[in-house]
Amino acid sequence: MRTTRIFVRAGLTIAAAAALPLALTAPSASAAGGITVTATGSTVTVTTAACTNGGDASLMSNGQASFAQGRQAELTNGSATWQNVTTGVHTVAVVCEDGSAAGSQTVTVGATATTSSTTAPARGVRGGLGGGSEDYGTYTLAAGGALVLLAAGGGGAWYLRRRGAQHRL
């Protein structure tokens, strides 16, 4: 009965170790959406990866409440630019060709450049010693999972062997 419990726990550990690389290779839904708005001097630029088939962007000044009231521009390669924008707070909204909203963001146009984003970087941020994130491929993650399974199997065999050695004379 005691051996059965050990095998059940070891089996659950191995199953979790096998599922981890598969979970890490699944695409993230938040990485595709969002917009990034940049204001440099009197030029405002919006970029997005959410609208793969194109779309429209609108720059709305103070007092303009709807997409149609703003200065509209067509997305070209995922970006749109407005020149000679007046100083103040503006809202930029992006609507994709299929009618879905990619996002909206406020931006302050003035003497200094401002940058804002609605999404975090796709795979975290790099920092510390040597970088904190790397985009590994499916094969690398599968090989790592196989090494974890091999280590779990070897550790389990060693544990069972050591348990049996205590009862020997």
Structure-model confidence comparison of residues 122 and 144, the more confident one: 144
pTM for the model: 0.47
User: What is the per-residue pLDDT for 146?
Assistant: 93
Q: Examine the pLDDT at 6 and tell me if it is beyond 80.
A: no
Q: Examine the pLDDT at 61 and tell me if it is beyond 70.
A: yes
Tokens 């199997």, residue located = 153
List the structure tokens of 156.
């389990």
Q: Name the burial class of residue 72, with classes exposed (0-12), middle (13-18) and buried (19+) by CB atoms within 10 angstroms of its CB.
A: middle
DSSP assignment letter at 96 = E
Please give the average per-residue pLDDT across 43-72, as a whole number. Answer: 86
User: What is the per-residue pLDDT for 111?
Assistant: 56
Give the CA distances from residue 109 to residues 60, 68, 95, 119, 141, in Å, rounded to whole numbers and listed in that order: 12, 21, 22, 21, 44
Average pLDDT, the chain: 74
Q: Examine the pLDDT at 25 and tell me if it is beyond 90.
A: no
User: What is the per-residue pLDDT for 148?
Assistant: 92
What is the largest distance, in Å, between two alpha-carbon atoms of the chain?
91
Q: Nearest 5°: CA angle at 90, between 89 and 94?
A: 155
Q: Which amino acid is at 4?
A: T
Evaluated on CA atoms 95, 103, 127, 144, the torsion sign reads: negative
pLDDT digits (tens, 9 = 90+) for 92-122: 989 888 888 888 888 888 755 445 555 555 5
